[in-house]
Amino acid sequence: MATLRLENGTIYSDLTDIRPQLAPLNIHLNRWPVGDNPELQTLLAKAALSDSEKEQVLTALDHYFAQLQQEAGYQSRDLIVLHPDIPNLGDLLAKFERCHTHADDEVRYIIEGEGVFGFVTPTGEQMELTIQGEEYINVPAGTEHWFYLTPRQRIKAVRYFSTTEGWTPDYTDTPIRMSRQSYEQAR
């Protein structure tokens, strides 16, 4: 279940309370069930997946991709699988842990694990949204944000693309005032 933590310490854990807080940023957050297919559940339980297993997962969830293609013209998708045993995981994640924007929407469907998106609001306030399995997020192009994994360091996320070029981070150098320590204390 998603949890939103505001800079002032207020915490929301119900989608009906979280959505109005994200509305000024035009961020869309939804719950998308992965279903109870036993083969899919077995794959989701594994830390690492082969390329063919990733394709199995994507195929099992392609009804969401078809919906996004029809509604918003998305062209491709992939599955990113991150876990503590990936060499240089810290280096890979470091480029997203600083405030940045993208030229394209950042669209992810978290199917297993969890991660934290931080956002800078139009008024300069900051907030962090922890998203977990079966949650879909669309962060519009130009939204100032950052991302990190929770201490579990495990996530499987389907990424949807209009183009892949728009996902290069454009760093803003805005200092992040919310710390991971306060994330841990809030949990």
Residue with tokens 């320590």: 181
* pLDDT, tens digit, 9 for 90 and up, residues 20-72: 999 999 999 999 999 999 999 999 999 999 999 999 999 999 999 999 999 99
* 28 is known to lie in a ligand binding site: no
Confidence at residue 49, expressed as pLDDT on a 0 to 100 scale: 97
Domain range spanning residue 41?
3-186
* pLDDT, tens digit, 9 for 90 and up, residues 97-146: 999 999 999 999 999 999 999 999 999 999 999 999 999 999 999 999 99
**CATH code of 35's domain:** 2.60.120.10
d(C-alpha 133, C-alpha 54), whole Å? 16
pLDDT range class, residue 179, cuts 50, 70, 90: confident
* 102 is known to lie in a ligand binding site: yes
pTM passes above 0.85: yes
The answer to whether 94 and 169 are in contact (CB under 8 A) is no
Q: Which pair of structure tokens corresponds to residue 42?
A: 């077995």
Q: What is the dihedral of CA 157, 158, 162, 167, to 10 degrees?
A: 20
* 106 is known to lie in a ligand binding site: yes
Task: Write the CB contacts of 141 (distance below 8 Å, at least 6 apart in sequence).
Answer: 101, 102, 103, 104, 105, 166
Q: How many domains does the chain have?
A: 1
* 63 is known to lie in a ligand binding site: no
